[in-house]
Amino acid sequence: MSLNQSSDHNRRIVLASRPKGAPANDNFRLEQSDIPKPAEGEVLLRTVFLSLDPYMRGRMSDAASYAEPVAIDEVMVGGTVNRVIESRLDGFAEGDWVLSYTCGWQDYALSDGTMLVNLGKNPPQPSLALGLLGMPGFTAYMGLLDIGAPQKGETLVVAAATGPVGATVGQIGKIKGCHVVGVAGGNKKCDFAVEELGFDACIDHYAEDFDQQLAAACPDGIDVYFENVGGKVLDGVLPLLNTSARIPVCGLVSQYNATNLPEGPDRLGLLMGTILTRRLKVQGFIIFDDYGHRYDEFYQQMSDWYAKGKVKYREQVVEGLEQAPEAFAGMLEGKNFGKLVVRVGEDS
């Protein structure tokens, strides 16, 4: 046992207050509690990896969204990979690796099997279930293929190009024969997108001439823009969209911390006008709600691509549950490089 994870008590990070703007340390509180005992029909889980993802910012707010907000003093939500410590539930045995969507930011939790997936005794790389083979990879796969419907020779643009969604979108785009242009923050990430992930180009969104660089990288316009950030990337993309372009919308990270609408002019009508005159399809989706029934198809295909080296995956591991708040806040500013996970406990 290390990483301060104990067999005597549970550590958990609760939502202490709702952030105004960027989340700060005092929006979270690290607490101790007893390790619960499983009743009949329950399992006790110990967390090994915690996933940090942009959608969690929305859950910290009480504005209306697609999911209930986390209540004040409740444990922060998040996907986790855990070991089963004790099982009184059919289908789960002590030592099994599982993927849980109800445990959240803590060492131990009970589960009655709801939103719990058994990964078996010895998965080769358990944290993949939080990334390439989990929610981010699934989001990339369905959003791009079902809504984006990329055709060979078309131009695909995706931001957060080294993040788990963007990197996967771009690599699937290459498999489908697209001209793939990424957007990322800084040369290091851009080089990685081109050299390691095989993107045709990647533009640094910090560049002063970002719009011009993006236009130069898309000489035939843009046919699919996979929207995960919004803000100035979208501003640069809008004038380049071709007739009948598709925009799957899975996230708007750049505006999650905004406390007010930006100053005018009001471009809502301009966006609607662009949708009309260019005959765009702009469609939001929430991966498990809209596509849960196609998870198996995704899992098979993505496992195959990964095994064959057609899709690569980069992970950034932060050590220790207590580091989660700062790592999460940094991610919203683009400080991570690859899929961000927290190692909460040892494998065994």
Does position 146 bind its own copies by CB under 8 A? no
| 198 counts as binding its own copies under rule CB under 8 A | no
Cα separation, 248 vs 228, in Å, equals: 9
Question: CA geometry: angle at 304 spanning 301 and 310, to 5°?
Answer: 105
| Omega prior to 265 cis, within 30 of 0 | yes
Which residue's CB is nearer to its own copies, number 285 or number 299? 285
Q: CA triplet 247, 179, 339: central angle to 5 degrees? A: 65
> Distance between CA atoms of 132 and 180, rounded to whole angstroms?
19
Q: How far is the CB of 277 from its own copies (least distance, A)?
A: 5
Alpha helices in 70-186 (DSSP H): 135-142, 164-175
Q: How far is the CB of 164 from its own copies (least distance, A)?
A: 18
Binding mask 268-297 for its own copies (x = CB under 8 A): xxxxxx-xxxxxxxxxxxx--xx-------
Task: Report d(CA 258, CA 282) in Å as an integer.
Answer: 22
Query: Does residue 261 belong to the site contacting its own copies (CB under 8 A)?
Result: yes
- The neighbouring-strand residues paired with 99 are 81, 117
Q: Give the nearest distance from C-beta 334 to its own copies in angstroms.
A: 17
For the bound state, the minimum distance from the C-beta of residue 291 to its own copies, rounded and expressed in Å, comes to 11
Q: Is 317 near its own copies (CB under 8 A)?
A: no
Q: How far is the CB of 260 from its own copies (least distance, A)?
A: 7
Q: Which stretch binds its own copies (CB under 8 A): 3-11, 16-24, 43-51, 230-238?
A: 230-238
Judged by CB under 8 A, the stretch of 95-103, 111-119, 124-132, 242-250 that binds its own copies is: 242-250
| DSSP-derived 3-state class of residue 107 | coil
Which tokens go with 263?
């100053």
Choice between 65 and 300, CB closer to its own copies: 65
Report if residue 71 touches its own copies, rule: CB under 8 A.
Answer: no
Exactly one of 14, 234, 237, 324 binds its own copies (CB under 8 A); that residue is 234
> Which residue has tokens 């099982």?
87
> Which of these, 238, 203, 227, lies nearest to 217 by C-alpha position?
203
Nearest to 1 by CA among 102, 79, 108: 108
The residue written with tokens 């939500």 in the block is 77
Residue nearer to its own copies on the CB measure, 256 or 305? 256
Q: Please work out the total of residues on this chain that contact its own copies, with binding judged by CB under 8 A.
A: 44
Among 25, 187, 243, 300, binds its own copies (CB under 8 A): 243
What pairs with residue 83 in β-bridges? 46, 97
Residue 69 binds its own copies, judged by CB under 8 A: no
Query: What gap in Å lies between CA 230 and CA 224, rounded to an integer?
Result: 14
Residue 267 binding its own copies, by CB under 8 A: yes
* Contact residues for its own copies, defined by CB under 8 A: 58, 64-66, 227, 230-231, 234, 243-244, 249-252, 255, 258, 260-273, 275-286, 289-290
